[in-house]
Structure 1
Amino acid sequence: MFAEIDPPQRLLMGPGPVNAYPRVLRAMSADLLGQFDPEMTGYMNETMALYRGVFQTQNRWTFVIDGTARAGIEAALVSLTEPGAKVLIVRSGRFGLLLTEICERLGADYVTVDADWGQVVPFDRIAQAARAHRPQVIAAIHGDTSTTMAQPLDSLGELCREIGALSYVDATATLGGMSVPVDAWGADIVTAGLQKCLGGPSGSAPITISDRAAEFIFARRHTEKGIRASDATDGNRARIGSNYFDLAMIMDYWSEKRLNHHTEATSMLYAARECARIALQEGLEARFARHELAGRAVVAGARAIGLAVYGDDAHRMTNVTGIFIPDAIDGETIRRRMREDFEIEIGTAFGPLAGKIWRIGAMGYNARKHKVLITLGALEGCLRAEGFAARSGVDAALEMYEASHA
């Protein structure tokens, strides 16, 4: 007989997931309701209203997809991308590659505009590629945790309207920790997840959809499958190639019609609702400042220890920091020591950065002074135990926090 689940109380300071707010976990323990119970649909409406605030948007179609952050990504792309459609993908890390993989499965005619890992794609290159290829969709990652870089997106919506494209942005790693001003960007669909800056468990994907994107998606509702984008007209679009991720059907479910599509994940809805309540009660500007300060403290502490920080300082995400593993140090040994001796998890890397950097995240519930200091102190101790002459990173991080209150 297996024992009752009793996981260790680890401090999750990697690129996500992070520790959930206790309020979120308490909300998840509330009683279940039927999916069309007026109390339940009221909570759904409240969740929509709350996430309009978090996404900084007036979009009527703002809700959550039942599934991890990747469910939101796939729902957006399968609903926006017709077979044969031209898609321009902005890539500079692993999650840009993920967009490519999904578009391949959808039969899209995709092109990419790339930057080296650790950099971002300059907007003039995005604009040049968009004007040359005239895509139906432009897709980008706001904050790619694989490289710890944040892609500037200020002019994306304007560019899309110039060429008649729709835009998709994956803000999984930034929503609730960095500004994601959907209306100011003019973005058409933006998705995220709970398990990073929003401080909840993985399993719910907030999404917001512009009216122009909704109109395009609804036009695909009652069409024949197999139509390619080149043969489609506004009244004869290619059918959405998924049932579960069909945003037209999901929007009907979240509308006043309440047309049955799936059984809402009640406990995850409670979690998503509470994540948004916490974010808005703190205030977005205060929240962004808290994450920015935590990120600067991690960078200052790592450099004071004697470690090099990965990537372009000008475009660094505020909530995830890449740190080079020193020569003659085994990165996995340090991670094991951190976990076994201090009950702290920091992240490894993948792709061309595998074995080269650690990734430390200070997000949501964990973007706090004492958690940053504890993590840096543990990293110092583990490095010294492996023969690295680590200096004090705690002092430098503490000075960063004290200076912020001067």
Structure 2
Amino acid sequence: MKKNLLLLLGAAVMFFSCQNESTEAEEQAQTRTEAEIAAEEEILSSEIEIAGIDEGDDAIQMNAESEILAQRETKNQGLTFSTASKSTSAECEADIEGFAASLPETVSVFTKLPECIEGGGSFAALDIDDGYLAGLDIPAWCADLEGQLTGGTFSYDVYSSYEDVSGLEQSPGVPLFENPNDFDRINWLLNQNIIGTESKSEEGGIYTFGHLQWAIWEIIEGTGNNCTDDCDFLSCDPIDQWDNDKDNNERLGLELVAAAEASGEGFVPQCGQKIAVILASTTSQSLIITKEVPEKEKECDDCEGDVDKLTMEFDWHYAKRVRIYQKYENTCWGKKVFDKVLQPGEEFTIEGVNHDGSFGKYIYIYIGDCYYTKIKTNCYLNIGPGYEKGVFNVISGTSTHGGELCEYVKPEPTKCYRHWTCYYYYKYCIYGY
């Protein structure tokens, strides 16, 4: 009996002890939440205490025009390609070598016939399950006339069309491609969106996928080695349309060859355009697919001149309206460069609106209706990816004379470095550096 009583007493002590621990944890969590809310309310309602850092020459003045959202004047960025797959900016440097390095050595491909569309489509379609070239119903073109293309799974060797493929052989002493140095012309053709357009010759006619495929063969295999008989697979409906109008179809194909010879020599696709990828095989017909040309990764520079562009993350738990201002052309008057309700973790980009595209010495940030903080943008501080100011993290940026900003190197942090709760517990903390 005494033993049972002791057991009951022990269980009761454990129960109340666990209850106390649970209650204490809940109270601590509630205290932290209340402190965080109080911190937010205080920092957003106490403009005077923080605004002291903006007295004197750094003070920003507002007028009626300050609330008009300003945007940087757009200028003609230069080179564009009217017949390319996408517009191309001269600011973007194509990474042809990096693209070649990213290609796999081999790839497993499932080949199939695509939906036959005279005004669109391609010669073949491929499914690639994984890797850099993965995709379904990938448009493909035949790169040579040797072998046969049938439905099924095949393995191919992979090459960029700007690699040297002159050493590839169909069999000992027999080159895989008769004209391996002419893939620049193929790349030019594949970037013209030619299918479905009308010939400008007197005879006229509409270019189809068959004319483009015939032109590719003519360029790679050379005159006299192209498809001349039983070429019905180059047309849709009726099935023998190509052979019934052979002379006219070959004329349209030769027009594309002539255009590629005239304009495609030395062609190198730019950012956003298509680059041909060669899938080489000695057991089935070699193929061509395309990928978009990537942009070359820019090397960073220290901040020089003034910052002119910033991408930042809003690192807070609640959605807030954020307004950002800069001083306009070294005056004291503010210009609004950003105004949006930001969601937690949302990234956003701002650009300077001075004549040189810069922000000047600072950007001034308001959250809700209250001033929050400012960020130095005159390159006296090498801000860059990794720089944090309160609840704003710099993701990337550029400067007027230095280009892409390098990663920020943090000094030793202070106890008041990061979040608004710092302000709550350390009343005179200034955020960031």
**TM-score of the pair, normalised by structure 1:** 0.26
**TM-score of the pair, normalised by structure 2:** 0.25
More contact order relative to length (CA 8 Å, sep ≥ 6) = 1
